[in-house]
Amino acid sequence: MLSRPYIVVASDFSASSDYALKAAEKLRKKSNGQIHVIHVTPYPDQWDWLTNDVVINYYPDNYKKNLIDGLSNQLTAQMKRCGVEGKREILMGPTAKTI
């Protein structure tokens, strides 16, 4: 058996993420491990529908903070709903590369 494994779970707030979080929590309890739940959001200029001139001219100063705060609240609610105890983190960047 693993000795206090460090379990990383990526969430996109979907039902599949709920399933993964619940499975990770079962593993954490059995192994006395730690869970780190992450959600990755892309930078706005990576969105197909948002052009660079829009990003440069209309990107509010507090956008990143508000986005991260909102996603953090959503992730906290998901973890609570799934009965998960652990650390949570919101990351920005290309999803696959960031994970």
Per residue in 9-43, pLDDT (tens digit) is 999 999 999 999 999 999 999 999 999 999 998 87
Name the residue type at position 39: H
pLDDT of residue 92: 85
For the residues 56-80, what does the mean pLDDT come to? 84
Instruction: Judge contact between 28 and 56, C-beta under 8 A.
Output: no
pLDDT of residue 2: 55
Q: How confident is the model at residue 55 (pLDDT cuts 50, 70, 90)?
A: low
What's the pTM?
A: 0.79
Structure tokens at 40: 């990755």
Torsion of CA 79, 37, 35, 69, to 10 degrees: -70
